[in-house]
Amino acid sequence: MLVLITDTGATQLVAATSPFSCARALRTRGHLPSAHRSFTCKQKCSAQAATAVQEAMPRSLTPSVSSSVDLSSVLALDNIRQTLIRQEDTIIFLLIERAQFALNAAVYKTDAVPVPDFDSAGRRYSLLEYLLRETEQVHGRIRRYTSPDEQPFYPDRVPPLVLPPIEYAEVLVPQAKGINLNKQIMDLYLQELMPGITEPGDDNNYGSAAMQDVLCLQALSKRIHYGKFVAEAKYRAHPEQYEQLIQYRDHDAIMSTLTNEDVEKKVIERVQRKAAIFGQDITDGKQQLSTFKVEPSTVANLYEKWIMPLTKQVQVAYLLQRLD
């Protein structure tokens, strides 16, 4: 707590960790008579000094129910590029972590693990679905899904906040909140990615595998839905060009305009090199190039066939709503 003390006309804020330290701070500066050494702030300090502290505090120290965040710099092309590059690192490392466990198909099958949760039709969730839903319950309470670059896999179950809300500057159009490709991301992950990076079979590490699955899914979702910011930046760079295409609802022309094959080729080459570097075992200072924790070509294929196409799908969906 903070105690307000006035010495010769100067106001001081003194930190006090308890009512007793509050009284001690007052005694030290002669503001508490010796006859009142048993005095604590529980009765008077809380009612008087605490009120005075609140009134005397600078605005920057006053508790607030909400705060605001300026996201305008997010649309700078250099910032976007750096963000996407960092996300490459995150995705590759998470895939390496998941690849240390077997496929463990039971994690993804309904009723294979008797989790205590069911959908509206009475179907028991798989272990992955259960853990993902429970994780989103925790993260949702601390504002994760109020951030414009996050999308829940279960948007109908986002819980109320326990932290004050943050007011984000409206960089994206409001309709952006409704763009959610997580169903497609989940299908990609289970049907294409997991069989490609894990050994077949069951090693009984269900919990560990499911935890890594949740982290991978969240990272993939964030990367793909970041296409909303990419689309807004491209629109602001060439508004006239995009406005005409948007007005004609020309999906194919928009897709063609925002596609840069040279950049995409560089991304594919970069993530393949990163996967090769990150996935090596280094012994005695020597690189082991014969085996990789995740096959670099698998990561390159993930970006070429899934991540970049889905990101562009998000961009087109965003741009088609940009003028609404």
**Tokens encoding 170:** 């409206």
21: pLDDT strictly greater than 60: no
39: pLDDT strictly greater than 80: no
Rounded to whole angstroms, the Cα distance separating 75 from 199 reads 40
Rounded to whole angstroms, the Cα distance separating 44 from 48 reads 6
- For the chain, domains (ranges, CATH) are 2-61 (no CATH), 73-320 (1.10.590.10)
Rounded to whole angstroms, the Cα distance separating 61 from 117 reads 43
Query: Is the pTM value of this prediction over 0.75?
Result: yes
Q: What is the pLDDT of residues 99-126, one digit of tens each?
A: 999 999 999 999 999 999 999 899 999 9
Q: What is the mean pLDDT of residues 219-247?
A: 97
224: pLDDT strictly greater than 60: yes
Mean pLDDT of the chain: 84
Q: What is the pLDDT of residue 78?
A: 86
167: pLDDT strictly greater than 80: yes
70: pLDDT strictly greater than 70: no
**Tokens encoding 262:** 């040279």
- 4-11 contacts at long range (C-beta below 8 A, 24 or more positions apart): 4/49, 4/52, 4/53, 4/56, 5/29, 5/31, 11/56
Q: What is the mean pLDDT of residues 299-323?
A: 98
Q: What is the pLDDT of residue 287?
A: 61
Q: What is the pLDDT of residue 68?
A: 62
Q: Which amino acid is at 64?
A: S
Q: What is the mean pLDDT of residues 235-246?
A: 96
Q: What is the pLDDT of residue 284?
A: 66
Q: What is the mean pLDDT of residues 242-260?
A: 97
**Tokens encoding 280:** 């090596």
Q: What is the pLDDT of residues 183-197, one digit of tens each?
A: 999 999 999 999 999
* Total Cβ atoms within 10 A of residue 179: 20
**Tokens encoding 132:** 């993902």
